[in-house]
Amino acid sequence: MRTSLRLGLVVMAAMFGGSELASAQTAKIKLGYAKCAHCLPMSLIPGMAKGVEVEATGFNSGNDVLTALISKSIDVAQVTYLHYITALDKGFDVVAVSGQINGGSECLSSAKLNLPPDDWSAFKATVAKAKSDGQPLKVAASRGNAQDIHMRGAFLKQGVDPNKDIQFINIPNPSDHLAALQRGEVDMICSVEPFASQIRLAGAGKHFVLPYDQAAGNLTNLIVTRSDVIASQRAGVQGIVTAVVELDNRLMADKGPWIDVINKLTGLDKTVATEALNNASPDPAIHRSQTLAIAAMMRDLKYISKDVSAEAEKNMDYSFLEQATGKAKNDLGY
């Protein structure tokens, strides 16, 4: 009897000891993402990732997410191609490991501007007249986000210098864009989904253009980490990238969970969420050549101080995507 009891205790100790060992070996990743329509699905990653414990945190903007990554408050971040280039320009240690979802930018004009949709000639004439009258057009965005750089690049390509021909207004929180346009404080806003759809459906602004005719196209979101995280938590980073690929595949087949998460985390109704997804496309690839074009455009716009194309190319690690998809990097945007 005593022998049986001792044997049972030994077995139990082995079981619990094994469990603690397994727990100690499980990778733990702190993940950050911004609060926009194409960013919010990242909140679903903790429930999908396998072999890694994920603690996910939503931030107001991509700038806040990047700051958290650089300060080592988080391990993996959803930011934008713009943030990636900006970080490299400042000498920060960031490594791109996956794409996520692109799109989400829209320029909306005030009703008083009476600007026809997609009519660049009318826009340029309006900009020129306002400038000659000594009251440059007031154009807003959240400085430093993808929509800001999309708008600046599109304007520059049309011959409108965003640094000289308009008055730029910085409204950091996109959720404040609707009120600024509604109060007549600005003439145009380049906003991010779902707030762009909210503005349009509320009648506070009219669609002018999707500002994708520039070097960045509609590229927006990247998943990035640091080299020390890859060295110490490679399995964890792989778990995140694999989950992002699986998430994108699911969202391409069914937008229901995407609409639900926008509704839950922004408080905006499902009509707005559904409309927002007309301007978003899941895409886990890392687009190398376009990234280099973005870097050149940002240098032209004086958003960065030097040529970072070599660093941008060097700091793209396709190995996680290759393992997650079973494809070669040449089929993943390289």
Q: Looking at the structure, do residues 163 and 257 belong to the same domain, yes or no?
A: no
Q: What is the mean pLDDT of residues 125-142?
A: 96
Q: Looking at the structure, do residues 111 and 173 belong to the same domain, yes or no?
A: yes
What pLDDT shows up at residue 97?
A: 98
What one-letter code names the amino acid at 220? Answer: T
Backbone angles phi, psi at 282, to 5 degrees: -60, 135
What one-letter code names the amino acid at 55? Answer: E
pLDDT at 20 over 50: no
What one-letter code names the amino acid at 294? Answer: I
> Any idea which of 10-14, 74-78, 242-246, 319-323 has the lowest mean pLDDT?
10-14
pTM, two decimal places:
0.86
Summarize pLDDT for 190-222 with one digit per residue, the tens.
999 999 999 999 999 999 999 999 988 999 999
- Establish if 77 belongs to a structural domain: yes
CATH number at residue 73: 3.40.190.10
- Establish if 310 belongs to a structural domain: yes
Closest CA relative to residue 150, chosen from 79, 215, 66: 215
Domain total of the chain: 2
Q: What is the mean pLDDT of residues 18-42?
A: 80
What pLDDT shows up at residue 4?
A: 52
Q: How far apart are CA 199 and CA 193, in angstroms?
A: 10
pLDDT at 23 over 70: no
Q: For residue 301, what pLDDT band results from cuts at 50, 70 and 90?
A: confident
180, 209, 238 — which closes off a domain?
A: 209
pLDDT at 19 over 50: no
Q: Looking at the structure, do residues 111 and 99 belong to the same domain, yes or no?
A: no
Question: Percent of the chain scored above 70 by pLDDT?
Answer: 93
What pLDDT shows up at residue 144?
A: 83
Q: Looking at the structure, do residues 241 and 94 belong to the same domain, yes or no?
A: yes
> Any idea which of 12-21, 47-56, 62-71 has the lowest mean pLDDT?
12-21
Q: Looking at the structure, do residues 83 and 222 belong to the same domain, yes or no?
A: yes
User: Residue 229's domain spans which residues?
Assistant: 28-103+218-331
156, 181, 209 — which closes off a domain?
A: 209
Question: Percent of the chain scored above 90 by pLDDT?
Answer: 85
pLDDT at 8 over 90: no
Q: How far is CA 244 from the centre of its chain?
A: 13
Q: What is the mean pLDDT of residues 146-169?
A: 94
Summarize pLDDT for 251-291 with one digit per residue, the tens.
999 999 999 999 999 999 999 999 999 999 999 999 999 99
What pLDDT shows up at residue 22?
A: 47
What pLDDT shows up at residue 9?
A: 46
- When the pLDDT of each residue in the chain is averaged and rounded to a whole number, the result is 91
Q: For residue 6, what pLDDT band results from cuts at 50, 70 and 90?
A: low
What pLDDT shows up at residue 25?
A: 73
- Establish if 238 belongs to a structural domain: yes
- Establish if 199 belongs to a structural domain: yes
What pLDDT shows up at residue 26?
A: 83
> What HEC string does 116-175 produce?
CCCCHHHHHHHHHHHHHCCCCCEEEECCCCHHHHHHHHHHHHCCCCCCCCCEEEECCCHH
- Establish if 173 belongs to a structural domain: yes
- Which range among 35-39, 216-220, 233-237 has the greatest average pLDDT? 233-237
Q: Enter the tokens of residue 69.
A: 């990554």
Q: Looking at the structure, do residues 76 and 202 belong to the same domain, yes or no?
A: no
